[in-house]
Every structure is written in structure tokens, then in C-alpha cells.
Amino acid sequence: MKNAKKLVLAALLFVSCTKVPTINLTEHQFNQTPERMVIVQIPGLTEEAFSPLKYRGPEATKKVATEFFACFGKMWKFNQFEMNPKVEDSLVSQISGYPRSEKTCEKYQDPRVWDVLSDIGFSTAVYQRGNDKFLDEALSCNPKLFYKTRLFTSPQKSKKGNLEAFHFEKMKAYLSGVVYQDESCSNGKCFATVKDNFDHIWKSMSQTTKKLVVIRDFDLTLKGADSAQYIENLNRFLFYLVHDFSIANPQTSIIVTGVSKGADLSPVWANGPLAENFCGQFNEYEMFKRFFWKSQKSTIPLIDGI
């Protein structure tokens, strides 16, 4: 009887080994723990933003970067009943799980994704580009908000004062809890691209293999030709993340989210370990737990007595 059970188990294992798991027509390993993570938050980004690139010719045969991501999902806004919901509330909710829209400082007290990962040995950084009003409000509410991470900013207009500086062509060590301002920014524009600064920040975190970088990019709020150029550059950057960067940094989760101010749903794209957690529809504040959730069920059927 025991031999028969062993033969059954061996057959089940053989069948499971002959099938390669896939998602979005590509190979994908499910329920894997990421060793590195990149989160990109872009206010104003929708899937339709890439339409001008997709339909440049008479046929939509050329893929845009988002088509190479393993999973695509849509997030219900938690504050859809507000007359004028804040984009900042959505950004906060996505990375902290805070479930309400608040005009008080309460929303800046919950742990962020970088706090959780810092506590388990990750080196973390937050890079904000463009509109930086959030930083003044957030830090006035919670001066310890970035104590466990490094904060880099590329403001539309450089702030005067005794702020620390960084430049993508000048490598140096960066400390947690310190705000670093981009030297390349002046007169409302920054010479360094998102990719320039992301690569620089990523390389500066070489002290550990476990890394998290959160990018908050407000530059899509620009209008006209600047907006079209932004989408072109964003498409190139996302191609880089999902291809060359991911190949050079295996076991890295790439998550890109938008915040649609005038819509009830916002998009999210995911690639790499745990990308499957971001497929389908879910509430915006549930995104936070999806960074870490893993199924506890075994994929191998267990037979008593073996």
C-alpha cells in the first residue's frame, strides 16, 4: 500500500514539474519573496496616457513598456465620497494602508513600507521629483517620518538654506533621516533625469543586497508638449526597469501606480516576485499589505502515511 502511495505522489510531482507557471504569457514564479523592491508613484498617470505612443502608426503593433509587466490591477479610491479628494491622501494610503482621508496629521503617523522593510534589514530611500509641498506638511506633522530612510528631492525650484546636496555624477555616502536636494535643479527644471538619479541612489545603497527605493514623481502635472515628452521619457524608464534593471537585479519587485484625481479607480502595474498580488481590483489602502502577503498553502499534495 505504501509503495502505491509513493507511486501516486511521484506521478503528481512529475506532472507538476513538467508545467512551467506563467502569467501574462510569460514565465513567472509565484509566492516568491522579493530581495529588492522599487515602487513608482505618479499622480495623474492612467493607462490611457501611453496611447499616443501605442498608436503612432496605423496599427498598434509596437508594445509600450507597461505591456511587459506581469500584472495589471485597478484600485478603488478609499475617499471617493469626498468632493475634492487629495492626491496626497491616495499616495499615503498606497504605501501605509491608512484607510481614510484626513485633514489632520494622523495620516502621517502610520508606518510606511520603508519603515517595515528597514526593520528587517533593507536599505531604503525615497526620491521625490517635482512638487514638494507634501514634504513640508508631512515633516511638520511627523518630524520622524524619514528617520529610517534617506530622502532625495528634485524640486521644481531649489530651496535656499543649509540643505544637504546630491548629484548623480558625484558618489558619496548618504545618511538616514537627512533630506538631500538635487544639485542639477535650477530655474524650475532639473538636468538629471529620473533614471540618472534612480541609478545613482540605487548604487549608493551598495552596503546591502536588500534594497527599497520609492519614487514619487509629480512631473506628469506639466502640460502640453512637456507632458508628451514626460510620457516618452517615462516609457523609456519603465522599459529599463522591467528589462535591463530587472535582469541585473533578479528577485526585484517593480510596482508602478497612478493616482487619477477625477476617477474612482487608479492603475497599478507589477513585475517580479509577488507581482500576482496586484492583479485584479482592490481597495487603494489594501495595496500596503499586498507588498508582503504570501500564500501559506502548499503546492504539493500531502498524503497521510508517507
pLDDT digits (tens, 9 = 90+) for 211-255: 999 999 988 765 555 788 889 999 999 999 999 999 999 999 999
How far apart CA 183 and CA 125 sit, in angstroms, is: 18
Domain span at 163? 23-290
Using one digit for the tens of pLDDT, what is the confidence trace for 169-194? 999 999 999 999 999 987 667 899 99
Residue 43 within any structural domain of the chain: yes
Its pTM stands at: 0.87
Residue 186 within any structural domain of the chain: yes
Ranges in the chain, pLDDT < 70: 1-18, 59, 78-85, 101-103, 131-132, 158-161, 187-188, 221-225, 297-306
Residue 251 Rama label (left phi>0; alpha psi -120 to 50; beta) = left
User: Which residue type, as a one-letter code, is found at position 284?
Assistant: E
229's CB contacts (< 8 A; 6+ apart) are none
Residue 254 within any structural domain of the chain: yes
Residue 7 within any structural domain of the chain: no
By percentage, how much of the chain surpasses pLDDT 70?
A: 81
Residue 152 within any structural domain of the chain: yes
Domains in the chain, number: 1
Residue 179 to residues 50, 108, 164: CA-CA distances in angstroms?
A: 33, 17, 6
DSSP string, 183-240: TTEETTEESS-HHHHHHHHHHHTTT-S-EEEEEEE-GGG--HHHHHHHHHHHHHHHHH
CATH assignment at residue 283: 3.40.720.10
49 grid coordinates: 496616457
Q: What pLDDT was estimated at residue 306?
A: 35
Residue 295 within any structural domain of the chain: no
**54-63 burial code (b ≥16 CB/10 A, e <16):** beeeeeeeee
DSSP 170: B
Residue 300 within any structural domain of the chain: no
